Structure 1
Amino acid sequence: MRVSIITVVFNGAEHVRDCIESILNQTYSDIEYIIVDGKSTDGTVDIVRSYGTKIAQFVSEPDKGLYDAMNKGIQMATGEVIGLLNADDFYRHNRVIENMVATFERTDSDAVYGDMIYVDRSDTQKLTRYWRSGWYTENAFLWGWMPGHLSFFAKRWLYEQYGVFRLDMKSAADYELMLRFIHKNKAKLTYMDEVTIVMRAGGISNSSLKNRIRANKEDRVAWELNGLTPYFFTLWLKPLRKLSQYITKPPALNSKVTKG
Protein backbone atom coordinates (compact mmCIF):
# COMPACT_ATOMS: atom_id res chain seq x y z
CA MET A 1 0.00 0.00 0.00
CA ARG A 2 1.59 3.24 -1.13
CA VAL A 3 1.13 6.20 1.21
CA SER A 4 1.37 9.79 -0.05
CA ILE A 5 2.41 12.31 2.61
CA ILE A 6 1.98 15.97 1.72
CA THR A 7 3.77 18.86 3.42
CA VAL A 8 2.83 22.43 2.57
CA VAL A 9 5.25 25.16 3.54
CA PHE A 10 5.90 28.87 3.13
CA ASN A 11 9.04 30.40 4.64
CA GLY A 12 9.41 27.46 7.02
CA ALA A 13 13.21 27.15 7.05
CA GLU A 14 13.37 27.19 10.86
CA HIS A 15 11.48 23.92 11.34
CA VAL A 16 10.95 22.20 7.98
CA ARG A 17 13.98 19.95 8.41
CA ASP A 18 12.44 18.38 11.54
CA CYS A 19 9.28 17.66 9.55
CA ILE A 20 11.15 16.14 6.61
CA GLU A 21 13.38 13.97 8.81
CA SER A 22 10.39 12.61 10.73
CA ILE A 23 8.95 11.33 7.46
CA LEU A 24 12.17 10.05 5.91
CA ASN A 25 12.95 8.14 9.12
CA GLN A 26 9.67 6.23 9.12
CA THR A 27 10.07 2.44 9.17
CA TYR A 28 7.46 2.02 6.43
CA SER A 29 9.16 2.01 3.04
CA ASP A 30 6.45 2.71 0.44
CA ILE A 31 6.01 6.44 1.08
CA GLU A 32 5.60 9.04 -1.65
CA TYR A 33 6.66 12.32 -0.05
CA ILE A 34 5.31 15.47 -1.70
CA ILE A 35 6.26 19.01 -0.68
CA VAL A 36 4.32 22.02 -1.94
CA ASP A 37 6.07 25.34 -1.29
CA GLY A 38 4.44 28.74 -1.70
CA LYS A 39 7.52 30.36 -3.27
CA SER A 40 9.51 30.75 -0.05
CA THR A 41 12.27 33.36 0.21
CA ASP A 42 13.97 32.29 3.48
CA GLY A 43 16.05 29.30 2.37
CA THR A 44 13.25 26.71 2.60
CA VAL A 45 13.66 25.76 -1.07
CA ASP A 46 17.38 25.09 -0.65
CA ILE A 47 16.71 22.88 2.38
CA VAL A 48 14.11 20.83 0.51
CA ARG A 49 16.30 20.46 -2.57
CA SER A 50 19.20 19.25 -0.43
CA TYR A 51 17.27 15.99 0.07
CA GLY A 52 17.33 15.26 -3.66
CA THR A 53 15.31 12.27 -4.81
CA LYS A 54 14.22 11.44 -1.25
CA ILE A 55 11.46 13.96 -1.95
CA ALA A 56 9.29 12.28 -4.59
CA GLN A 57 7.67 15.48 -5.86
CA PHE A 58 8.46 19.13 -5.10
CA VAL A 59 6.87 22.29 -6.43
CA SER A 60 7.62 25.88 -5.43
CA GLU A 61 5.18 28.47 -6.77
CA PRO A 62 2.70 31.06 -5.50
CA ASP A 63 -0.58 29.71 -4.17
CA LYS A 64 -3.84 30.95 -2.67
CA GLY A 65 -3.03 29.80 0.85
CA LEU A 66 -2.70 26.67 2.96
CA TYR A 67 -5.67 24.73 1.60
CA ASP A 68 -4.92 25.59 -2.02
CA ALA A 69 -1.42 24.17 -1.48
CA MET A 70 -2.89 21.03 0.13
CA ASN A 71 -5.20 20.58 -2.86
CA LYS A 72 -2.21 20.80 -5.20
CA GLY A 73 -0.49 18.05 -3.24
CA ILE A 74 -3.60 15.87 -3.27
CA GLN A 75 -3.84 16.22 -7.05
CA MET A 76 -0.19 15.15 -7.36
CA ALA A 77 -0.55 12.15 -5.05
CA THR A 78 -0.50 8.61 -6.42
CA GLY A 79 -0.73 6.70 -3.14
CA GLU A 80 -3.76 4.71 -2.04
CA VAL A 81 -3.72 6.62 1.25
CA ILE A 82 -3.10 10.36 1.71
CA GLY A 83 -1.82 12.07 4.86
CA LEU A 84 -0.92 15.69 5.58
CA LEU A 85 1.88 17.01 7.78
CA ASN A 86 2.60 20.73 8.01
CA ALA A 87 6.14 22.09 7.99
CA ASP A 88 6.16 23.08 11.68
CA ASP A 89 5.08 19.62 12.83
CA PHE A 90 6.44 16.08 12.94
CA TYR A 91 5.48 12.48 13.65
CA ARG A 92 5.61 11.30 17.27
CA HIS A 93 7.82 8.30 16.42
CA ASN A 94 9.18 6.43 13.41
CA ARG A 95 6.46 3.74 13.32
CA VAL A 96 3.46 6.03 12.78
CA ILE A 97 3.02 5.17 9.10
CA GLU A 98 3.71 1.48 9.69
CA ASN A 99 1.05 1.36 12.42
CA MET A 100 -1.39 3.33 10.30
CA VAL A 101 -1.04 1.04 7.29
CA ALA A 102 -1.46 -2.03 9.52
CA THR A 103 -4.67 -0.48 10.86
CA PHE A 104 -6.02 0.07 7.34
CA GLU A 105 -5.18 -3.49 6.34
CA ARG A 106 -6.66 -5.01 9.50
CA THR A 107 -9.93 -3.07 9.39
CA ASP A 108 -10.49 -2.28 5.69
CA SER A 109 -11.33 1.28 6.69
CA ASP A 110 -11.76 4.35 4.49
CA ALA A 111 -9.89 6.57 6.93
CA VAL A 112 -7.75 6.22 10.06
CA TYR A 113 -7.03 8.85 12.70
CA GLY A 114 -5.12 9.18 15.97
CA ASP A 115 -4.22 11.65 18.71
CA MET A 116 -2.08 14.80 18.65
CA ILE A 117 -0.03 16.79 21.13
CA TYR A 118 0.87 20.46 20.94
CA VAL A 119 4.25 21.61 22.20
CA ASP A 120 6.08 24.87 22.75
CA ARG A 121 7.53 26.20 19.49
CA SER A 122 11.05 26.42 20.92
CA ASP A 123 11.02 23.59 23.47
CA THR A 124 9.36 20.54 21.95
CA GLN A 125 9.57 18.70 25.28
CA LYS A 126 7.16 21.22 26.82
CA LEU A 127 3.57 20.03 26.36
CA THR A 128 0.85 22.66 25.96
CA ARG A 129 -2.15 20.59 24.83
CA TYR A 130 -3.23 16.97 24.25
CA TRP A 131 -5.91 16.25 21.66
CA ARG A 132 -7.28 12.79 22.37
CA SER A 133 -9.72 12.11 19.57
CA GLY A 134 -11.23 8.96 21.02
CA TRP A 135 -13.42 6.41 19.27
CA TYR A 136 -15.91 7.62 16.71
CA THR A 137 -19.60 6.85 17.10
CA GLU A 138 -22.25 7.62 14.51
CA ASN A 139 -23.47 11.23 14.62
CA ALA A 140 -20.58 12.26 16.89
CA PHE A 141 -20.22 15.49 14.87
CA LEU A 142 -23.62 16.54 16.23
CA TRP A 143 -22.03 16.48 19.68
CA GLY A 144 -19.10 18.71 18.75
CA TRP A 145 -16.65 15.90 17.96
CA MET A 146 -13.97 15.97 15.28
CA PRO A 147 -10.60 14.25 14.92
CA GLY A 148 -7.35 16.18 14.72
CA HIS A 149 -6.94 17.02 11.05
CA LEU A 150 -3.25 16.15 10.68
CA SER A 151 -3.82 12.79 12.38
CA PHE A 152 -6.38 11.97 9.67
CA PHE A 153 -5.25 9.57 6.91
CA ALA A 154 -7.79 9.01 4.13
CA LYS A 155 -8.03 6.77 1.10
CA ARG A 156 -7.39 8.79 -2.06
CA TRP A 157 -10.75 7.75 -3.51
CA LEU A 158 -12.53 9.81 -0.85
CA TYR A 159 -10.98 12.99 -2.28
CA GLU A 160 -11.68 11.85 -5.82
CA GLN A 161 -15.34 11.05 -5.10
CA TYR A 162 -16.29 13.72 -2.55
CA GLY A 163 -13.90 16.55 -3.37
CA VAL A 164 -10.93 18.35 -1.85
CA PHE A 165 -10.68 21.38 0.48
CA ARG A 166 -13.03 24.29 -0.19
CA LEU A 167 -11.02 27.49 -0.55
CA ASP A 168 -13.97 29.64 0.53
CA MET A 169 -14.01 28.07 4.02
CA LYS A 170 -10.82 29.73 5.32
CA SER A 171 -9.89 28.26 8.73
CA ALA A 172 -12.84 25.82 8.76
CA ALA A 173 -11.86 24.02 5.54
CA ASP A 174 -10.52 20.99 7.42
CA TYR A 175 -13.67 20.76 9.56
CA GLU A 176 -15.90 21.02 6.48
CA LEU A 177 -13.96 18.32 4.63
CA MET A 178 -14.13 15.84 7.51
CA LEU A 179 -17.81 16.66 8.11
CA ARG A 180 -18.40 15.91 4.42
CA PHE A 181 -16.39 12.68 4.39
CA ILE A 182 -17.45 11.26 7.75
CA HIS A 183 -20.84 12.61 8.84
CA LYS A 184 -22.45 13.17 5.45
CA ASN A 185 -20.96 10.36 3.36
CA LYS A 186 -20.39 7.82 6.16
CA ALA A 187 -16.72 7.01 5.54
CA LYS A 188 -15.70 3.99 7.61
CA LEU A 189 -13.33 5.18 10.37
CA THR A 190 -10.87 3.46 12.67
CA TYR A 191 -9.17 5.09 15.64
CA MET A 192 -5.46 4.55 16.35
CA ASP A 193 -5.25 4.87 20.12
CA GLU A 194 -1.86 6.58 20.18
CA VAL A 195 -0.26 9.99 19.75
CA THR A 196 0.78 10.25 16.12
CA ILE A 197 1.37 13.97 15.56
CA VAL A 198 3.42 16.59 17.40
CA MET A 199 2.37 20.15 16.55
CA ARG A 200 4.23 23.29 17.48
CA ALA A 201 1.81 25.72 19.12
CA GLY A 202 0.85 28.67 16.95
CA GLY A 203 -0.93 29.26 13.66
CA ILE A 204 -4.57 30.21 13.36
CA SER A 205 -6.02 30.55 16.84
CA ASN A 206 -9.62 30.57 18.03
CA SER A 207 -8.63 31.53 21.57
CA SER A 208 -10.09 35.07 21.47
CA LEU A 209 -13.83 35.67 21.59
CA LYS A 210 -13.69 37.47 18.23
CA ASN A 211 -11.94 34.54 16.55
CA ARG A 212 -14.25 32.01 18.21
CA ILE A 213 -17.36 33.84 16.92
CA ARG A 214 -15.85 33.94 13.43
CA ALA A 215 -14.98 30.24 13.58
CA ASN A 216 -18.48 29.42 14.83
CA LYS A 217 -19.95 31.18 11.79
CA GLU A 218 -17.64 29.26 9.45
CA ASP A 219 -18.54 25.96 11.12
CA ARG A 220 -22.23 26.73 10.65
CA VAL A 221 -21.63 27.44 6.96
CA ALA A 222 -19.89 24.04 6.69
CA TRP A 223 -23.13 22.33 7.75
CA GLU A 224 -25.25 24.48 5.43
CA LEU A 225 -23.03 23.79 2.42
CA ASN A 226 -23.53 20.07 2.96
CA GLY A 227 -27.30 20.32 3.40
CA LEU A 228 -26.98 19.26 7.05
CA THR A 229 -28.62 20.58 10.20
CA PRO A 230 -26.73 20.59 13.52
CA TYR A 231 -28.34 20.63 16.94
CA PHE A 232 -28.72 24.11 18.44
CA PHE A 233 -25.78 23.37 20.76
CA THR A 234 -23.50 21.50 18.31
CA LEU A 235 -21.30 24.39 17.28
CA TRP A 236 -20.77 25.56 20.86
CA LEU A 237 -19.94 22.07 22.12
CA LYS A 238 -17.11 21.93 19.58
CA PRO A 239 -14.92 24.57 21.27
CA LEU A 240 -16.00 23.45 24.76
CA ARG A 241 -14.60 19.99 24.02
CA LYS A 242 -11.17 21.56 23.62
CA LEU A 243 -11.01 22.71 27.24
CA SER A 244 -10.09 19.24 28.48
CA GLN A 245 -7.19 19.16 26.03
CA TYR A 246 -5.33 21.64 28.22
CA ILE A 247 -5.79 19.51 31.34
CA THR A 248 -5.51 15.86 30.27
CA LYS A 249 -2.02 14.39 30.05
CA PRO A 250 -1.08 11.94 27.27
CA PRO A 251 0.30 8.49 28.08
CA ALA A 252 4.09 8.11 28.35
CA LEU A 253 4.45 11.87 28.61
CA ASN A 254 7.86 11.51 30.21
CA SER A 255 9.29 9.74 27.16
CA LYS A 256 11.28 12.07 24.94
CA VAL A 257 9.53 13.50 21.90
CA THR A 258 11.53 12.46 18.85
CA LYS A 259 11.87 14.53 15.70
CA GLY A 260 13.30 11.87 13.45
Structure 2
Amino acid sequence: MKISIITVCYNSDATIEKTILSVACQTYKNIEYIIVDGNSKDNTIEIVKKYETIITKWISEPDQGLYDAMNKGIAIATGDLVGVLNSDDTFKSNTVLEELAQFHSSNVIDASIGDIIQHNDKNEIIRLYSSKNWSPTKLSIGFMPPHPSIFFKRDLFDKYGLYNLSFKIGADYELITRFFLKNRISWKYSRITTTSMLVGGVSSSGYSSYKLITKEIKKALKMNGVIFSSWIINTRFVWKIIGFVKK
Protein backbone atom coordinates (compact mmCIF):
# COMPACT_ATOMS: atom_id res chain seq x y z
CA MET A 1 0.00 0.00 0.00
CA LYS A 2 1.47 3.28 -1.13
CA ILE A 3 0.69 6.37 0.97
CA SER A 4 0.92 9.81 -0.63
CA ILE A 5 1.74 12.64 1.77
CA ILE A 6 1.19 16.18 0.52
CA THR A 7 2.82 19.23 2.09
CA VAL A 8 1.85 22.65 0.77
CA CYS A 9 3.98 25.61 1.69
CA TYR A 10 4.78 29.26 1.13
CA ASN A 11 7.70 31.05 2.80
CA SER A 12 8.04 28.19 5.29
CA ASP A 13 11.80 28.08 5.81
CA ALA A 14 11.40 28.38 9.60
CA THR A 15 9.46 25.12 9.93
CA ILE A 16 9.52 22.97 6.81
CA GLU A 17 12.74 21.12 7.59
CA LYS A 18 11.15 19.56 10.69
CA THR A 19 8.15 18.59 8.58
CA ILE A 20 10.32 16.91 5.94
CA LEU A 21 12.37 15.07 8.56
CA SER A 22 9.23 13.74 10.24
CA VAL A 23 8.37 12.06 6.92
CA ALA A 24 11.93 10.83 6.42
CA CYS A 25 11.92 9.21 9.88
CA GLN A 26 8.81 7.11 9.27
CA THR A 27 9.35 3.38 9.72
CA TYR A 28 6.95 2.76 6.84
CA LYS A 29 8.79 3.19 3.56
CA ASN A 30 6.20 2.89 0.79
CA ILE A 31 5.66 6.66 0.85
CA GLU A 32 5.20 9.11 -1.98
CA TYR A 33 6.11 12.52 -0.59
CA ILE A 34 4.90 15.53 -2.56
CA ILE A 35 5.66 19.18 -1.78
CA VAL A 36 3.72 21.94 -3.50
CA ASP A 37 5.26 25.37 -2.98
CA GLY A 38 3.57 28.64 -3.89
CA ASN A 39 6.70 30.26 -5.32
CA SER A 40 8.31 31.09 -1.97
CA LYS A 41 10.55 34.16 -1.66
CA ASP A 42 12.56 32.92 1.32
CA ASN A 43 14.83 29.86 1.63
CA THR A 44 12.08 27.24 1.47
CA ILE A 45 13.14 25.86 -1.91
CA GLU A 46 16.79 25.64 -0.86
CA ILE A 47 15.68 23.43 2.03
CA VAL A 48 13.48 21.35 -0.26
CA LYS A 49 16.38 20.79 -2.66
CA LYS A 50 18.51 19.65 0.27
CA TYR A 51 16.13 16.72 0.75
CA GLU A 52 15.43 15.73 -2.85
CA THR A 53 16.36 12.12 -2.07
CA ILE A 54 13.47 12.02 0.40
CA ILE A 55 10.92 14.03 -1.61
CA THR A 56 9.33 12.11 -4.48
CA LYS A 57 8.00 15.13 -6.36
CA TRP A 58 8.00 18.86 -5.77
CA ILE A 59 6.79 21.89 -7.66
CA SER A 60 7.16 25.61 -7.01
CA GLU A 61 4.89 28.03 -8.82
CA PRO A 62 2.29 30.70 -8.04
CA ASP A 63 -1.08 29.37 -6.96
CA GLN A 64 -4.48 30.55 -5.77
CA GLY A 65 -3.82 29.64 -2.16
CA LEU A 66 -3.74 26.67 0.19
CA TYR A 67 -6.52 24.61 -1.37
CA ASP A 68 -5.35 25.16 -4.93
CA ALA A 69 -1.95 23.83 -3.84
CA MET A 70 -3.59 20.82 -2.20
CA ASN A 71 -5.48 20.10 -5.41
CA LYS A 72 -2.24 20.24 -7.37
CA GLY A 73 -0.70 17.72 -5.00
CA ILE A 74 -3.67 15.37 -5.23
CA ALA A 75 -3.62 15.62 -9.03
CA ILE A 76 -0.09 14.21 -9.20
CA ALA A 77 -0.45 11.73 -6.30
CA THR A 78 -0.37 8.04 -7.19
CA GLY A 79 -0.75 6.47 -3.75
CA ASP A 80 -3.56 4.24 -2.52
CA LEU A 81 -4.08 6.65 0.39
CA VAL A 82 -3.66 10.43 0.54
CA GLY A 83 -2.92 12.50 3.63
CA VAL A 84 -1.95 16.12 4.23
CA LEU A 85 0.94 17.24 6.44
CA ASN A 86 1.09 21.02 6.81
CA SER A 87 4.44 22.77 6.47
CA ASP A 88 4.58 23.74 10.16
CA ASP A 89 3.38 20.36 11.47
CA THR A 90 5.01 16.98 12.07
CA PHE A 91 3.88 13.39 12.44
CA LYS A 92 3.30 12.54 16.09
CA SER A 93 5.64 9.54 15.98
CA ASN A 94 7.88 7.64 13.58
CA THR A 95 5.35 4.80 13.31
CA VAL A 96 2.26 6.81 12.30
CA LEU A 97 2.21 5.74 8.65
CA GLU A 98 3.01 2.13 9.51
CA GLU A 99 0.08 2.10 11.93
CA LEU A 100 -2.20 3.68 9.31
CA ALA A 101 -1.16 1.18 6.64
CA GLN A 102 -1.97 -1.68 9.00
CA PHE A 103 -5.28 -0.11 9.95
CA HIS A 104 -6.40 0.34 6.34
CA SER A 105 -5.21 -3.14 5.42
CA SER A 106 -7.37 -4.56 8.21
CA ASN A 107 -10.49 -2.51 7.41
CA VAL A 108 -12.40 -2.15 4.14
CA ILE A 109 -12.97 1.61 4.31
CA ASP A 110 -12.71 4.72 2.15
CA ALA A 111 -11.17 6.87 4.88
CA SER A 112 -9.86 6.83 8.42
CA ILE A 113 -10.10 9.61 10.98
CA GLY A 114 -7.88 9.98 14.02
CA ASP A 115 -6.58 12.45 16.56
CA ILE A 116 -4.04 15.25 16.58
CA ILE A 117 -2.32 17.24 19.28
CA GLN A 118 -2.01 21.02 19.09
CA HIS A 119 0.95 22.86 20.55
CA ASN A 120 2.15 26.44 20.79
CA ASP A 121 5.44 27.91 19.59
CA LYS A 122 7.04 26.86 22.90
CA ASN A 123 6.14 23.25 22.04
CA GLU A 124 3.70 23.08 24.94
CA ILE A 125 0.73 20.80 24.26
CA ILE A 126 -2.47 22.78 24.67
CA ARG A 127 -5.09 20.45 23.20
CA LEU A 128 -5.85 16.91 22.13
CA TYR A 129 -8.22 17.27 19.18
CA SER A 130 -9.91 13.88 19.01
CA SER A 131 -12.33 12.24 16.55
CA LYS A 132 -13.38 9.63 19.09
CA ASN A 133 -16.96 10.87 19.51
CA TRP A 134 -17.37 12.37 16.04
CA SER A 135 -19.91 11.23 13.46
CA PRO A 136 -20.86 12.78 10.09
CA THR A 137 -24.16 14.13 11.50
CA LYS A 138 -22.09 16.51 13.64
CA LEU A 139 -21.14 18.39 10.49
CA SER A 140 -24.65 19.86 10.57
CA ILE A 141 -23.88 21.55 13.89
CA GLY A 142 -20.44 22.83 12.90
CA PHE A 143 -18.07 20.06 13.98
CA MET A 144 -15.62 18.18 11.79
CA PRO A 145 -12.75 15.78 12.59
CA PRO A 146 -9.23 17.24 12.51
CA HIS A 147 -8.34 17.57 8.86
CA PRO A 148 -4.68 16.40 9.19
CA SER A 149 -5.85 13.16 10.84
CA ILE A 150 -7.91 12.08 7.82
CA PHE A 151 -6.46 9.67 5.27
CA PHE A 152 -8.54 9.19 2.10
CA LYS A 153 -8.43 6.58 -0.61
CA ARG A 154 -7.04 8.36 -3.66
CA ASP A 155 -9.94 7.43 -5.96
CA LEU A 156 -12.44 9.37 -3.82
CA PHE A 157 -11.14 12.59 -5.34
CA ASP A 158 -11.83 11.25 -8.83
CA LYS A 159 -15.36 10.23 -7.83
CA TYR A 160 -16.41 13.21 -5.74
CA GLY A 161 -14.09 16.06 -6.65
CA LEU A 162 -11.32 18.17 -5.13
CA TYR A 163 -11.26 21.13 -2.74
CA ASN A 164 -13.65 23.89 -3.81
CA LEU A 165 -11.67 27.06 -4.49
CA SER A 166 -14.63 29.36 -3.84
CA PHE A 167 -13.87 28.88 -0.12
CA LYS A 168 -11.17 30.93 1.58
CA ILE A 169 -10.66 28.87 4.75
CA GLY A 170 -13.52 26.36 4.73
CA ALA A 171 -12.83 24.18 1.69
CA ASP A 172 -11.78 21.30 3.95
CA TYR A 173 -15.15 21.53 5.76
CA GLU A 174 -16.99 21.48 2.44
CA LEU A 175 -15.02 18.52 1.12
CA ILE A 176 -15.53 16.53 4.32
CA THR A 177 -19.27 17.33 4.21
CA ARG A 178 -19.43 16.28 0.56
CA PHE A 179 -17.55 13.02 1.16
CA PHE A 180 -18.86 11.89 4.55
CA LEU A 181 -22.40 13.26 4.65
CA LYS A 182 -23.58 13.74 1.06
CA ASN A 183 -21.87 10.71 -0.50
CA ARG A 184 -21.69 8.62 2.68
CA ILE A 185 -18.22 7.20 2.19
CA SER A 186 -17.21 4.35 4.48
CA TRP A 187 -14.92 5.32 7.34
CA LYS A 188 -13.64 4.29 10.76
CA TYR A 189 -11.98 5.96 13.74
CA SER A 190 -8.38 4.75 13.83
CA ARG A 191 -7.47 5.81 17.40
CA ILE A 192 -4.14 6.93 15.93
CA THR A 193 -2.73 10.32 16.94
CA THR A 194 -1.36 11.27 13.56
CA THR A 195 -0.09 14.81 13.81
CA SER A 196 1.50 17.38 16.08
CA MET A 197 0.07 20.67 14.88
CA LEU A 198 1.21 24.22 15.58
CA VAL A 199 -1.78 26.38 16.54
CA GLY A 200 -2.49 29.68 14.85
CA GLY A 201 -3.29 28.44 11.33
CA VAL A 202 -5.39 30.14 8.69
CA SER A 203 -8.70 28.97 10.18
CA SER A 204 -7.85 29.48 13.86
CA SER A 205 -6.50 33.00 14.17
CA GLY A 206 -9.02 35.31 15.82
CA TYR A 207 -12.56 36.60 15.72
CA SER A 208 -12.49 37.67 12.07
CA SER A 209 -11.50 34.15 11.06
CA TYR A 210 -14.23 32.73 13.31
CA LYS A 211 -16.80 34.89 11.52
CA LEU A 212 -15.51 33.81 8.12
CA ILE A 213 -15.39 30.09 8.90
CA THR A 214 -18.90 30.31 10.38
CA LYS A 215 -20.12 31.83 7.12
CA GLU A 216 -18.31 29.19 5.08
CA ILE A 217 -19.60 26.29 7.21
CA LYS A 218 -23.15 27.44 6.39
CA LYS A 219 -22.21 27.76 2.73
CA ALA A 220 -20.73 24.23 2.71
CA LEU A 221 -23.83 22.74 4.30
CA LYS A 222 -26.18 24.54 1.89
CA MET A 223 -24.15 23.42 -1.12
CA ASN A 224 -24.50 19.80 -0.05
CA GLY A 225 -28.18 19.91 0.84
CA VAL A 226 -27.70 19.57 4.60
CA ILE A 227 -30.43 20.96 6.87
CA PHE A 228 -28.98 22.99 9.75
CA SER A 229 -29.73 25.66 12.34
CA SER A 230 -27.92 28.97 11.80
CA TRP A 231 -28.22 29.69 15.52
CA ILE A 232 -26.44 26.46 16.45
CA ILE A 233 -23.68 27.12 13.92
CA ASN A 234 -23.27 30.70 15.16
CA THR A 235 -22.95 29.58 18.81
CA ARG A 236 -20.98 26.37 18.33
CA PHE A 237 -18.10 27.75 20.41
CA VAL A 238 -20.43 27.52 23.44
CA TRP A 239 -20.95 23.81 22.87
CA LYS A 240 -17.20 23.33 22.54
CA ILE A 241 -16.66 25.02 25.89
CA ILE A 242 -19.37 22.91 27.51
CA GLY A 243 -17.73 19.79 26.08
CA PHE A 244 -14.35 20.74 27.53
CA VAL A 245 -15.89 21.46 30.94
CA LYS A 246 -17.63 18.06 30.95
CA LYS A 247 -14.36 16.33 30.10
Question: Same-fold call, TM > 0.5?
Answer: yes
* Cα distance in structure 1, aligned partners of 2:184 and 2:47: 40
Residue 26 of structure 1 aligns with an amino acid whose one-letter code is Q
Q: Secondary structure at the match of 1:28?
A: coil
1:153 corresponds to 2:151:
yes
User: Using a 3 Å threshold, how does the CA distance of structure 1 residues 19 and 248 change in structure 2: closer, same or farther?
Assistant: farther
User: Using a 3 Å threshold, how does the CA distance of structure 1 residues 205 and 66 change in structure 2: closer, same or farther?
Assistant: closer
- Paired residue for 1:129? 127
How is 1:5-24 mapped onto 2 (pairs within 5 angstroms)?
Answer: 5-24=5-24
Bigger mean CA deviation after superposition, 51-60 or 14-23:
51-60
User: Using a 3 Å threshold, how does the CA distance of structure 1 residues 244 and 2 change in structure 2: closer, same or farther?
Assistant: farther
* Residues 136 and 180 in structure 2, CA contact (< 8 A), matched pair in contact too: no
* Cα distance in structure 2, aligned partners of 1:138 and 1:118: 22
* Residues 129 and 245 in structure 1, CA contact (< 8 A), matched pair in contact too: no
1:199 corresponds to 2:185:
no
- Paired residue for 1:81? 81
- Paired residue for 1:25? 25
Q: Secondary structure at the match of 2:7?
A: strand
Output one character per residue of 1:118-153: Cα deviation in whole Å (capped at 9) or x when no partner.
1112x22x1122211214445232343311001110
* Cα distance in structure 1, aligned partners of 2:134 and 2:185: 11
How is 1:207-218 mapped onto 2 (pairs within 5 angstroms)?
Answer: 208-218=206-216
Sequence identity, in percent? 39
* Cα distance in structure 2, aligned partners of 1:221 and 1:140: 16
* Cα distance in structure 2, aligned partners of 1:140 and 1:183: 10
Residue 197 of structure 1 aligns with an amino acid whose one-letter code is T
1:59 corresponds to 2:65:
no
Root-mean-square deviation (CA, aligned residues, Å) is 2.1
- Paired residue for 1:229? 227
* Residues 103 and 192 in structure 1, CA contact (< 8 A), matched pair in contact too: yes
Structure of greater relative contact order (alpha carbons < 8 Å, 6+ residues apart): 1
For normalisation by structure 2, the TM-score amounts to 0.92
User: Using a 3 Å threshold, how does the CA distance of structure 1 residues 159 and 178 change in structure 2: closer, same or farther?
Assistant: same
* Residues 144 and 241 in structure 1, CA contact (< 8 A), matched pair in contact too: no
* Cα distance in structure 2, aligned partners of 1:193 and 1:165: 26
- Paired residue for 1:165? 163
Question: By how many angstroms is 1:207 displaced?
Answer: 5.8
Output one character per residue of 1:172-221: Cα deviation in whole Å (capped at 9) or x when no partner.
11100001100111111111213211111212245644432322111111
* Residues 5 and 33 in structure 1, CA contact (< 8 A), matched pair in contact too: yes
* Residues 34 and 55 in structure 2, CA contact (< 8 A), matched pair in contact too: yes
1:181 corresponds to 2:179:
yes
* Residues 142 and 217 in structure 2, CA contact (< 8 A), matched pair in contact too: no
Output one character per residue of 1:83-119: Cα deviation in whole Å (capped at 9) or x when no partner.
0001000000011111111111111110011111111
Count of aligned residue pairs for this structure pair: 247
Residue 176 of structure 1 aligns with an amino acid whose one-letter code is E
Which aligned segments of 4 or more residues in structure 1 are displaced greater than 6 angstroms? Answer: 244-249
* Cα distance in structure 2, aligned partners of 1:55 and 1:197: 19
Q: Secondary structure at the match of 2:166?
A: helix
Q: Secondary structure at the match of 2:33?
A: strand
For normalisation by structure 1, the TM-score amounts to 0.88
Question: By how many angstroms is 1:241 displaced?
Answer: 4.8
